[in-house]
Amino acid sequence: MRLWPRSLQRQLLLAVALALLVGQAINGALLYRAQSERRDAAVVHTVAFRLYAQLRDERAPPVPRRMRRPGFEAMAGAFPGSLEAAAPTILPRDRRLTEAEDWLQTTLSSQGIELAAIQVVQRSIATDPQAQRRLARRQARGDGGLPREVIVAAAQREAGGNWAVARVMVPPPQSRPLVGLLFQTLVIFALLVGVIALVLRRLTRPLTALTRRVEHFAATRDASNPLPVNGPADVGRLIAAHNDLEARIAALLNEKDVMLGAIGHDLKTPLAALRVRIESVADETERARMAATIEDITRSLDDILSLARVGRPSDPVESTDLTALIAQVVEEFEDMGEPASFAGGGRIVLPLRPTWLRRALRNLIGNALRYGGAARVSLDQAEGWVQITVADDGPGIPPADLDRMLEPFTRGEASRNRATGGAGLGLTLASAIARQHGGTLTLANRSRADGMVAGLTARLILPA
């Protein structure tokens, strides 16, 4: 499963959402920490008032106005202070608050109360009987937000004297600030992501149109109806530059086609005239050699012109029965007495340029017959692709030369010369036709059980 989106707009929106989530999470953690620190400070101040009242033998002074928040007034008066002969026992699970001890000792000392000993612990209410009784009364009244912990502080003014003991319940964390932060996050997310989505849509819409235009031009070489220039200034400049580049490429391709047409006409005309003139040569052997040379030149010229025009085909894409097309091409070779065969298969209809695909199949089958002595054609289909395989029984191609054989004017070993083959354009043309249809052409050697090469396999793969 892909977690990171592929489009620019979705990536930016996800990045903004993640950044906002992390920022608000940090903000929430800081807010929770500040709330906890304020709560702890209020509890310690309440402890200080209770101990001060006990040590001065006075009633507890009123809680300051800045500490009068829900829960704290009730908490401050929840446990009247008491004098005990010994300090409360520190239980194994109690947490000693040494910082609170130091602060209380300093604070009480500033009020003229010097302490001989002090201890402050935080424990669960479940382990403190007095706190349990007080909590039970609050539960009976139906109070909400009941605490779970209590702070027990004990102070002694003189060694061996009584201990002043104060208990203060620790109120639970308040969820209201976090709920407000969550609502704030949702509002900011909706506004920020909405505005960014509108901006990105204005930015990515022309980029999407430009991408489709590039894909269309790469497939058809059609430069008509240039893309309108819109969007931000930078994107508009990019679209305008692409339109200019597209127009220049189209002009160059048109000039190339005109030039190739002229070359083909100017060369084929004298070749045809020369073919007529050699009929007057008396020596039949010499006449046959001259005719073969002319045919070879004409065939090479046709291959060159076809390779040059393969990027700009004139025939339209048609829904074609691929199985029937392969059978027709193989039948042409069978009618000439060539050992070509087709394994057949189910009916497969694809959008193709049948004239060009026939040319590619003829080249592949012709190579298999010329260099391998036989051509066995098969057709396989899987989800998303169709594979045409042409196998022969020849000596194969050295592994280092397999990729190079798809390059123009490349032939194999010395035996593959112009007497046994063309100009080395057959595989190149077949590969270009495969790319024209969105596919690929690959070559691979087959091996026998003893490791020797059993022949060459050409695979023409087309998208289904």
**pLDDT (0 to 100) of residue 60:** 44
Residue 459 has pLDDT above 80, yes or no: yes
**pLDDT (0 to 100) of residue 62:** 47
Q: Which of 174, 196, 213 is the last residue of a domain?
A: 174
pTM given for the model: 0.50
302-327 core/surface letters (b: 16 or more CB in 10 A; e: else): bbbbbbbbbeeeeeeeeebebbebbb
User: In this structure, what CATH number is given to the domain that contains residue 421?
Assistant: 3.30.565.10
Residue 77 included in any domain: yes
Return the closest-CA partner of residue 346 out of 321, 329, 365, 364: 321
Residue 422 has pLDDT above 60, yes or no: no
The whole-number average pLDDT for the span 91-109 is: 90
From the number of C-beta atoms within 10 Å of its C-beta (0-12, 13-18, 19+), residue 442 rates as: middle
pLDDT digits (tens, 9 = 90+) for 10-21: 788 888 888 888
Say how many domains are in the chain. 2
**pLDDT (0 to 100) of residue 36:** 81
Share of the chain above pLDDT 70, in %: 85
Residue 417 included in any domain: yes
Under the banding of pLDDT at 50, 70 and 90, the label for residue 74 is: very low
Return the closest-CA partner of residue 290 out of 303, 301, 277, 299: 277
Least confident of 57-66, 156-165, 226-235, 405-414: 57-66
If one compares 234 and 412, the residue with the highest pLDDT of the two is: 234
Cβ-Cβ contacts under 8 Å for 55 (sequence gap 6 or more):
108, 113, 155, 157, 164
pLDDT digits (tens, 9 = 90+) for 340-355: 999 877 888 899 888 8
The C-alpha atoms of residue 158 and residue 162 are separated, in whole angstroms, by 8
Q: Could you report how far apart the first and last alpha carbons of the chain are, in Å?
A: 24
Q: Which of 174, 193, 218 is the last residue of a domain?
A: 174
The whole-number average pLDDT for the span 88-107 is: 89
CA 129 from chain centre, in angstroms, equals: 60
Supply the range of the domain harboring residue 322.
314-463
**pLDDT (0 to 100) of residue 378:** 92
Residue 364 included in any domain: yes
pLDDT digits (tens, 9 = 90+) for 267-310: 777 777 787 888 888 888 888 888 878 877 777 777 677 666 66
Residue 111 near residue 103 (C-beta atoms within 8 A): no
Residue 76 included in any domain: yes
Under the banding of pLDDT at 50, 70 and 90, the label for residue 61 is: very low
**pLDDT (0 to 100) of residue 145:** 66
Residue 236 has pLDDT above 70, yes or no: yes
Least confident of 62-66, 90-94, 134-138, 319-323: 62-66
Residue 99 included in any domain: yes
Residue 211 included in any domain: no
**pLDDT (0 to 100) of residue 73:** 43
Checking 400-403 for CB contacts under 8 A at 24+ apart, the result is: 402/443, 402/444, 402/445, 403/443
The whole-number average pLDDT for the span 43-56 is: 85
Cβ-Cβ contacts under 8 Å for 243 (sequence gap 6 or more):
226, 227, 229
Residue 184 included in any domain: no
If one compares 2 and 241, the residue with the highest pLDDT of the two is: 241
Measured CA distances, 243 to 71, 210, 218, 381 (Å) = 72, 10, 13, 39
pLDDT digits (tens, 9 = 90+) for 162-216: 888 888 888 877 666 667 777 877 888 788 888 888 888 887 888 888 888 888 8
**pLDDT (0 to 100) of residue 216:** 83
- Return the structure tokens found at 191: 């506004």
The C-alpha atoms of residue 118 and residue 104 are separated, in whole angstroms, by 8
Residue 209 included in any domain: no
Share of the chain above pLDDT 90, in %: 12
Residue 71 has pLDDT above 50, yes or no: no
pLDDT digits (tens, 9 = 90+) for 367-404: 899 888 899 999 998 888 999 999 998 888 888 888 88
The C-alpha atoms of residue 285 and residue 253 are separated, in whole angstroms, by 43
The C-alpha atoms of residue 60 and residue 50 are separated, in whole angstroms, by 6
If one compares 32 and 257, the residue with the highest pLDDT of the two is: 32
Q: Which of 174, 202, 227 is the last residue of a domain?
A: 174
